[in-house]
Amino acid sequence: MPQAAQTARAAGAPRSSGLSLLGSELKVLFGRRRTWALLLALAAIPVLIAVAVKVSSAVPPGRGPAFLDRITQNGLFVAFTAMLVSVPLFMPLAVGVVAGDTIAGEASLGTLRYLLVAPAGRVRLLLVKYAGALAFCIVAPLTVGLAGAAIGAALFPVGPVTLLSGGVVQPAEAALRIVLIAAYLAVSLAGLSAIGLFLSTLTVVPVGAMAATVVVSVVTEVADQLPQLDWLHPWLFSHYWLGFGDLLRQPVAWDSFASNALLQAGYMAVFGALAYGRFVTKDILS
Amino acid sequence: MAGGLAIETRGLSKHFGQQAAVDRVDLAVPHGTVFGFLGPNGSGKTTTIRMLLGLAAPSAGTVNLLGQEMPDKLHDVLPRVGALVEGPAFYPFLSGAANLHRLDSASPHTVPATRKARVQQALERVGLEHAAGKRVHAYSLGMKQRLGIANALLSPRDLLVLDEPTNGLDPQGTREVRNLVRSLAHQGTTVFVSSHLLAEVDQMCTHAAVMSVGKLVAQGPLAELRQAGSMRLRLVTPDAGAARQVLAGLGLVPGPGQSEPRAQPDGETVVAVLHTGTRRPSVLPEDVVAHLVQAGVRVRGFAVERESLEDRFVALTGEGFDVAQ
């Protein structure tokens, strides 16, 4: 019996490292227009803030989001303001779209069956999909921060930044703090991504999974505001989202970073396990 | 494994709620055959294929692919299997070539170094090399179908599972697919083709199986399946009454022709089934004529008709547009 495929493999051609799929996933994710549109929309937030501050008269201190009144003196504050403003809604919205699309998007296109028949392996595919969503969680806050720094530098003077603790750091150090905050936000969004991944294994309608992820995020944030649910607050994945102020102290206070990372790791474990349990046994009928 | 089966299922079943979409199917697809998997829409073909490829878990029964149990050995078996399942599916925002790159990189068993060449080769094989850089969004259904087949051919395969491969193709494309399947089979690849088009199976397959309402109602070499049909004789005579008596005397059950008006100016049509299945006919057609002539029955026309595969198909699966429930 001619076993072409078997002999071809027996000939000992080098196998791929298995990272090909991750490379392909990142290429598809960051190559598609939708991802660019999301990132552009996020980048528009600091631009909008900077332009609004520039054309309006001086902002009275204590009005509007934190840092807003400092922008005219120092353009780097555009980045801090924009990141702060985008955390409650815009970030979860963008992450919800990407994480909700992970499995359901492939299922609705029908490509899921071809990936699995390739065979990609269900666990491997799930891990790669989550890795892709995490990559977006890293890129999204970074986009806001860097766009903010850029537009701020273009429209306003840039100088030493006065931190929340009262100390003063040079612009280069301040830029580093912007990256640090972006990393904090990336970690913050990891838990929500895991929830999105799980929801995405439940349906073949990507919009459903996206909307559900965003709704979960909004409900959680509302719950975090209710004093009646005090006992629940430390367990909500959004609890530390706005806690990155600690990174603007001298020296940097890492407490909330650590608590946040631990909490997000817990969400990743729980919803990762749920997604695994669901996806590995799922009948792919789309 | 020589002489073994490329696909073997035992008692394969899939229930959706109360309904059995696939009911105790025992498929046996020998190595090196072009195996037609026939059945009307909704007869359980695609569900069976999904279970063969490990996309859906069987409710009961086992699947053995290329000598290995599925889905336990999925990672050993599937790299040797090319598949087109329930129509092509691609990323519309990627080009044809980029889609193939993506699906090829999905398997950890493929060699990245040869990927570009293999994609190019697969595209050429289905005649899509000129549309390789075009977004799939702009592809016609026929082009997507070709791209789907190209995806199945990205690596050398021992088994191809093609679900409705000629769906959406023009006659020219259909013929190309047929030739492609033949040439693959010639190289020793087992090809499992599902179809609801009989003519297609008739033209390219060596073996076939017929599904009806989730059950496997027939399978075997195509020649055997054809013979399993009945043989009828059709007689046109002005002496219909006498003819019926003679036929009845020979142990046949004569009836009137189904489609013709009963009384024609040049005589009446009488139809009788000579034999069904693989049993030898109890009486040979030439002896029937001799008996008719002996009895003084005037014969205007006499014909022996073998059932076409289509008649068989309809007989096995029922007629009309009713989608099997």
- Rounded to 5, what percent of chain A is helix, strand, coil? 70, 0, 25
* pLDDT given at position A108: 95
Q: Which pair of structure tokens corresponds to residue A29?
A: 């994710």
Q: Chain B residues with CB inside 8 Å of A284's CB?
A: 50, 55-56
Average pLDDT over residues A77-84: 93
Q: How many percent of chain A have pLDDT more than 70?
A: 91
Give domain status of residue A73, yes or no: yes
Q: Residue A172 to residues A30, A78, A82, A122, B136: CA-CA distances in angstroms? A: 29, 15, 19, 44, 46
**Is A278 at the interface with chain B, CB within 8 A?**
no
- B194 and B302, same domain (yes or no): no
* pLDDT given at position A16: 53
Average pLDDT over residues A259-283: 95
Cβ of A28 within 8 Å of Cβ of B94? The answer is: yes
Question: Which of B83, B93, B113 is opposite residue A117, by nearest beta carbon?
Answer: B83
Cβ of A5 within 8 Å of Cβ of B155? The answer is: yes
Cβ of A5 within 8 Å of Cβ of B157? The answer is: yes
Give domain status of residue A10, yes or no: no
Q: Chain A residues with CB inside 8 Å of B113's CB?
A: 14
Total domain count for chain B? 2
- B14 and B75, same domain (yes or no): yes
Task: Return d(Cα A208, Cα A200) in angstroms, integer.
Answer: 8
- B196 and B279, same domain (yes or no): no
Cβ of A13 within 8 Å of Cβ of B85? The answer is: no
Q: Chain B residues with CB inside 8 Å of A17's CB?
A: 108
- CATH for B70: 3.40.50.300
For B271, the domain range is 231-306
Question: Which of B94, B109, B187 is opposite residue A4, by nearest beta carbon?
Answer: B187
CA of A207 vs chain B CAs: smallest distance (Å): 17
Closest CA in chain A for residue B14:
A283
Total domain count for chain A? 1
Give domain status of residue A174, yes or no: yes
Give domain status of residue A4, yes or no: no
* pLDDT given at position B224: 80
Closest CA in chain B for residue A23:
B105
- CATH for B249: 3.30.70.100
Tally of CA atoms within 13 A in the half-sphere of A71 that contains its CB: 36
In the DSSP assignment, the letter for residue A229 is G
Q: Chain A residues with CB inside 8 Å of B92's CB?
A: 109
Residue A7 pLDDT more than 50?
no
The bridge status of strand B34-38 relative to strand B207-212 is parallel
- What's the gap between Cα A260 and its chain centre? 14
Closest CA in chain A for residue B101:
A24
What are the pLDDT digits (tens) for A27-54? 999 999 999 999 999 999 999 999 998 8
- B132 and B249, same domain (yes or no): no
Please give the helix or strand (H or E) that residue B6 lies within, else none. Answer: strand B5-16
- B156 and B103, same domain (yes or no): yes
CA of A33 vs chain B CAs: smallest distance (Å): 9
- B294 and B179, same domain (yes or no): no
Give domain status of residue B53, yes or no: yes
Q: Which of B166, B197, B227 is the last residue of a domain?
A: B227
Cβ of B109 within 8 Å of Cβ of A16? The answer is: yes
- B130 and B248, same domain (yes or no): no
What are the pLDDT digits (tens) for A151-170? 999 999 888 888 888 888 89
Cβ atoms of B38 and B196 within 8 Å: the answer is yes
Q: Which of B227, B261, B284 is the last residue of a domain?
A: B227
CA of A160 vs chain B CAs: smallest distance (Å): 46
Q: Chain A residues with CB inside 8 Å of B86's CB?
A: 110, 113
Cβ of A1 within 8 Å of Cβ of B1? The answer is: yes
Residue A58 pLDDT more than 70?
no
pLDDT band of A19, cuts 50, 70, 90: confident
- B191 and B55, same domain (yes or no): yes
**Is A280 at the interface with chain B, CB within 8 A?**
no
pLDDT band of A73, cuts 50, 70, 90: confident
For A244, the domain range is 19-280
One-letter amino acid at B320 equals G
Q: Residue B249 to residues B205, B246, B252, B254, B305: CA-CA distances in angstroms? A: 41, 5, 7, 10, 21
Q: Residue A53 to residues A71, A147, A151, A234, A276: CA-CA distances in angstroms? A: 8, 16, 12, 35, 47
Give pLDDT tens digits along chain B (325 positions): 445 899 999 999 999 888 889 999 999 999 999 999 988 888 899 999 999 999 999 999 999 999 999 888 899 999 999 999 988 999 999 999 999 999 999 988 888 889 999 999 999 998 899 999 999 999 988 899 999 999 999 999 999 999 988 888 888 888 888 888 888 898 889 999 998 877 788 888 999 998 888 889 888 898 887 776 677 788 888 888 888 888 888 877 776 654 444 555 667 777 777 766 555 667 788 888 888 889 888 888 888 877 766 777 777 766 554 444 4
- Contacts for B261 with CB less than 8 Å, ≥ 6 apart: none
- B223 and B248, same domain (yes or no): no
* Residue where the block lists tokens 């290329």: B66
* pLDDT given at position B266: 66
Give domain status of residue A244, yes or no: yes
Q: Chain B residues with CB inside 8 Å of A21's CB?
A: 105-106, 108
Task: Return d(Cα A177, Cα B178) in angstroms, integer.
Answer: 64
Residues 203-262 of A with CB under 8 A from B: none
Give domain status of residue B163, yes or no: yes
Q: Chain B residues with CB inside 8 Å of A6's CB?
A: 80, 158
Give domain status of residue A1, yes or no: no
Give domain status of residue B315, yes or no: no
Q: Which of B173, B192, B227 is the last residue of a domain?
A: B227
- B211 and B261, same domain (yes or no): no
Q: Chain B residues with CB inside 8 Å of A37's CB?
A: none
Cβ atoms of A56 and A162 within 8 Å: the answer is no
Residues 105-134 of A with CB under 8 A from B: 109-111, 113-121, 124-125
- B202 and B62, same domain (yes or no): yes
Q: Which pair of structure tokens corresponds to residue B149?
A: 């087949």
A-B Cβ pairs (cutoff 8 Å, strict): 131
Give domain status of residue A11, yes or no: no
